Amino acid sequence: MAVFWQGIVRAFELVFGFDREVWAVTWLSFQISGCATLVSLALGMPLGIALARSRFPGRSIVVALINTGMGLPPVVVGLFISILFWRSGPLGFLDLIYTPTAMIIAQIVIAFPIVAGLTMATFQTLNPALSLQLTGIGASKPQLLWLLCKEARLPLLAAVMAGFGGVISEVGGSMRVGGNICV
Query: pLDDT per residue over 132-142, tens digit each?
Result: 899 999 999 99
Residue pair 174/183 in contact (Cβ under 8 Å)? The answer is yes
Which CATH number covers residue 174?
Answer: 1.10.3720.10
In a domain? residue 121: yes
Buried b (16+ CB within 10 A) or exposed e, 32-42: bbebbbebbbe
Q: Is 182 exposed, middle or buried (0-12, 13-18, 19+ CB in 10 A)?
A: middle
Q: Is the pTM of this model over 0.85?
A: no
Half-sphere exposure of 49 (CA within 13 A, CB side): 17
Q: What is the DSSP letter of 55?
A: -
Question: Is 81 within a domain?
Answer: yes
Into how many domains does the chain fold? 1
Instruction: Residue 79: give the domain boundaries.
Output: 22-182
Q: What is the mean pLDDT of each run of 10 residues along the chain (183 residues)?
A: 90 85 89 94 96 94 95 90 93 92 94 95 92 91 92 91 78 44 43
